[in-house]
Structure 1
Amino acid sequence: MDTEVDYEGLPGGYSTGVNMLAGALAGISEHAVMFPVDSIKTRMQVYSASPAAVYTGIGNAFTRISSTEGMRALWRGVASVIAGAGPAHAVYFGTYEIVKDMTGGNREGHQFLSTSVAGASATITSELFMTPFDVIKQRMQMHNSQHRMVWSCARAVYRTEGVGAFFISYPTTLIMSVPFTAAQFTTYEYLKKKLNPSEVYSPVTHVIAGGLAGGFAAALTTPLDVAKTLLQTRGNSQEAEIRNAKGMLDAFRIIWRRDGLRGFSRGLTPRVLTFMPSNALCWLSYEFFKVAIGAHTSSPLA
């Protein structure tokens, strides 16, 4: 007898291992494809005294970087993201599915509280793993960065700034990522159920819901992302004020004193343009890999 598969919920036959592997593959796909735009976002957010590192927009940044440094510069640091994104996203999606199931998120209707708690829990665990890789990535993305290899960059940061440099932005990252993830997952689950109430496998639904959810969450948390970038790249600054920043409040004071409210929107456009397609790709990949892997590892329940 033919049975209709519920592709969306964990109880539909997909184990935690399947969700974690699907999440890892989705994370690598997401970050690798959109990495050049992320590089431009990082450069636009970094406070630098060098006029060569001040860009007026995405087009200006792309043209100047590619013409003066070559296209390869836009991919510098991608190895760090790939190394960290797989395990971090495995933890991310695995935690999300477990907590969502435990808190009743797979019941009928839009379970706002459940998806928010699950998303926040996923962020806390995955960001602890990913933050050091993000620090290395941003150091390699900077203008005139001397770092070309992930491990040599990691050794240089450790030697000159200590292990604390890899986690100086973790509190700020959490303060940013918890609302980002809560907004993203809640918006995604809401749109997914509205666009596809039957909850059958629908790639178009995952792309639309994932893209809109990612863009909304990215715009909402850009001010915190600017502060995070300042903290993660402070060791490369020539200015004592930035090098001595101890945390989020110091970063906020520096940004406010230099640019006012406008400073908190640095990199907004490339950040949104990064997260809309990357989030769409991430959810499309996640749901696809979950179905594809699950089909080979478990028997779907009727």
Structure 2
Amino acid sequence: MASWWRNLSPQNENIKHSIAGAGAGCVTSIITCPLDVVKTRLQNQGRDLHPGVVRYRGTLGTLSRIWREEGIRGLYRGLGPTIMGYLPTWAIYFTAYDYCKEALAARLDRHGTDWVVHILAAMTAGATSTTLTNPLWVIKTRFMTQNQSTAYHYRNTAHAIATIARTEGIAGFYKGLGPSLIGVSHVAVQFPLYEKLKVWLTPEGQPANTAIILCSSSTSKMAASIATYPHEVIRTRLQNQTIKPHKYQGILHGIKVIYEEEGFRAFYKGMGTNLLRTVPASALTILTYELLVRELGKNGD
């Protein structure tokens, strides 16, 4: 198996990066799923709750409540579509990112580590992967927020696909795409900053070691998450709308209603949980990716 992987490089660079990205995303999604569930429920929790519904409070409080009320299955709701989503997302992203980085560097006659190249490549790759995989993220979000009080109750991923297609049509699978595309700015911050930090911290002529990769990826992810977090709250609210008339009539209307009803802090609901989940998850994903790429690139040496 290892020799087969190595034989993919250097002739099949895109396949190599696709395998590395998919493998890294799969490992990360399994480890961090409970925190993803908590973050999503906190994001989705608006001012107007159904009568008798108790509000989720904080990371630990939400974790313990889900465990108490729904058991281990509650903490892993949405894991199926999450894995199904992460596999193509990371595969598409890393493949597109590396391809765009090389193509743009050649077209713009700039060095491969240039800021402009990294930003354009990151945004192009992010928009591509987001658009292609948005239906899976809608399903994932709904599974993670699904409980006794929600209007939707899906038995599994196939049932969710069939139900959304029947009741909401193709548009239902693309709810929240606008905020997701705005969220492309997240990767445009994260990956250029990661690449620059890795260059700054790595001694000249040596490959980046594990500590440098973890430090660079964690710092860049934290900075990007804080800067762009509000789009996640808006996206979650839009994705979970199933009953018409919809409360939020698009991005700008959603921003207006959330601000008027809940204030500025509402745009950062679940951010603490998100940082607990995404910073180590991103570090693990990128480390796994870098190590897999390095292993695949050995060519049997």
TM normalised by structure 1 equals 0.87
1:172–1:247 CA contact under 8 A, matched in 2: no
1:215–1:273 CA contact under 8 A, matched in 2: no
Distance across 2 between alignment mates of 1:27 and 1:109: 25
Give the match for residue 6 of structure 1.
none
Give the match for residue 93 of structure 2.
92
Structure 1 unmatched ranges of 5 or more:
1-10
CA apart distance, 1:245: 2.8
Q: Which runs of 4+ in 1 moved over 4 A?
A: 11-14, 105-110
Give the match for residue 174 of structure 1.
181
2:221–2:278 CA contact under 8 A, matched in 1: yes
Give the match for residue 184 of structure 1.
190
- Residue type of the alignment partner of 2:214: V
Give the match for residue 115 of structure 1.
118
Q: Deviations over 1:34-73 (max 9, x none)?
A: 1110110000011361464522210110111111111220
In the TM superposition, what are the counterparts of 1:12-23 in structure 2 within 5 Å?
15-23=13-21
1:223 equivalent in alignment to 2:223: no
- Residue type of the alignment partner of 1:212: T
2:102–2:112 CA contact under 8 A, matched in 1: no
Give the match for residue 4 of structure 2.
none
CA apart distance, 1:109: 8.6
- Residue type of the alignment partner of 1:195: L
- Residue type of the alignment partner of 2:104: T
Specify the SS of the correspondent of 2:86. Answer: helix
Give the match for residue 79 of structure 2.
78
- Residue type of the alignment partner of 2:283: A
Compared CA separation, residues 108 and 296, structure 1 to 2 (3 A): same
1:27–1:89 CA contact under 8 A, matched in 2: yes
Count the aligned residue pairs: 283
2:229–2:268 CA contact under 8 A, matched in 1: yes
Specify the SS of the correspondent of 1:171. Answer: helix
Structure 2 unmatched ranges of 5 or more:
1-8
CA apart distance, 1:110: 4.9
- Residue type of the alignment partner of 1:49: L
2:130 aligned to which of 127, 130, 142: 127
1:76–1:148 CA contact under 8 A, matched in 2: no
Give the match for residue 277 of structure 1.
280
Give the match for residue 196 of structure 1.
202
1:53–1:143 CA contact under 8 A, matched in 2: no
In the TM superposition, what are the counterparts of 1:1-302 in structure 2 within 5 Å?
15-46=13-44, 47=46, 49-50=49-50, 52=53, 54-104=55-105, 110-144=113-147, 146-176=153-183, 178-198=184-204, 199-235=206-242, 243-296=246-299
TM normalised by structure 2 equals 0.87
- Residue type of the alignment partner of 2:165: Y
Compared CA separation, residues 109 and 124, structure 1 to 2 (3 A): closer
Compared CA separation, residues 268 and 207, structure 1 to 2 (3 A): same
What is the percentage of aligned positions where both structures have the same residue?
A: 29
CA apart distance, 1:12: 8.0
The alignment's C-alpha RMSD in Å is 2.3
CA apart distance, 1:19: 1.2
Compared CA separation, residues 160 and 16, structure 1 to 2 (3 A): same
